[in-house]
Chains A and B, each alone.
Chain A
Amino acid sequence: MPAIIDYDDVEVGTRIPEREFRIRREDLVRYCGASGDFNVIHWNERAARDVGLPGVIAHGMYTMATAARLVTDWAGDPGSVVDYSVRFSSPVPVPDDDTGATLVASGVVEKKLEDNQVVVNLTVRFDGSKVLLASRATVQLA
């Protein structure tokens, strides 16, 4: 498959450059419909505050999907991820304005496996805090 990154050009320690990803309310509404997760805390300010949240928060799976984009864009193929796991550590509030929330994601190759696969350790921060822990993707390279 057409990965842009060649396995032989990647070493343990190779970095995927940091990128910013912006999430707005509209994106969450689109994600509700596309994913089928209509939990009110992802679109209804009143309901989110009622359960003690600061406001509407992003789906954890939206954050997980965003971190995957860092890897699939790097590899050049959304089909390149063969294993992907995360732990969700803190919520990402998405304010009702034109700016939304900004995630900062980066990655580093921590292992080279057989069959041209590599393990990428992902770091995703919001407001300086990690929002994903133990976030690792195994990626099929060319």
Chain B
Amino acid sequence: MPLNRDFVGRRFVADAPFLVGREHIRQFAAAIQDNSPLSHDLEAAKAAGYVDLVAPPTFLTAVALWRPVVPVRDPQLGLDYSLVVHVEQRYSLRRPVIAGDELVVSATIADIRQAGRNELLISEYEFVTTGGELVATARTALASRGTAA
């Protein structure tokens, strides 16, 4: 079943900010086997000029997944999540994500289009502090396999 094009242009905002935790940064860095002292050792991060631990660049994935905003399971959208493959990802960071950041996640469905037998669902994310500072943007392309009309 094709995806519902009426969702193109809709914007979704998380109902609560995401507090970036020091231990979460350590756990995420450990999971990707990133041993940088700046992500694990507070003194090292401060010596390097940061106010707290520094998140690896793809930590924003955890922010977006633990505070999901794109309604991928809304029956109205018509996405069968078992057919979904992640095909493209981009992160643009104005500055690194630092422990203690409170980030409000929002996303706009930028496009739904056919690509061969598949459909592409393109979402554009913003990560803004509760103080209104834009920290990062992201673009995610998911393929819905075999659902093109």
Contact = CB atoms under 8 A, between A and B. Distances in A.
Interface of A: 1-2, 21, 27, 30-31, 33-37, 51, 60-62, 64-66, 68-69, 72-73, 77-79, 81-88, 137
B contact residues, range:
35 or more
9 contacts: A30-B31, A35-B31, A36-B65, A64-B58, A65-B58, A72-B36, A72-B56, A78-B56, A84-B90
Contact of A60 (B66, B89, B95): B89
B96 A78 contact: yes
Given A30-B31, A34-B30, A78-B36, 18 more contacts: A31-B32, A33-B27, A34-B28, A34-B32, A34-B62, A35-B61, A35-B62, A65-B32, A69-B32, A69-B56, A73-B36, A78-B38, A78-B56, A79-B54, A81-B93, A83-B92, A84-B58, A85-B88
Interface of B: 24, 27-34, 36, 38-39, 48-50, 54-58, 61-62, 65-66, 82, 85-96, 139
B34 A78 contact: yes
B32 to A, nearest CB: 4
B87 A87 contact: yes
Contacts of B65: 35-37
B65 to A, nearest CB: 4
Chain A CB within 10 Å, residue with most, of B31, B49, B89: B31
Contacts of A78: 29, 34, 36, 38-39, 54-57, 96
A82 B95 CA distance: 7
Nearest to A41: B82
Chain A CB within 10 Å, residue with most, of B48, B50, B57, B65: B57
A83 B88 CA distance: 14
A69 B91 contact: no
Contacts of A84: 57-58, 90-91
B44 to A, nearest CB: 9
Contacts of A36: 62, 65-66
Given A21-B33, A33-B31, A61-B89, A77 B48 contact: yes
Contacts of B88: 85-88
A123 to B, nearest CB: 17
Nearest to B24: A34
B15 to A, nearest CB: 17
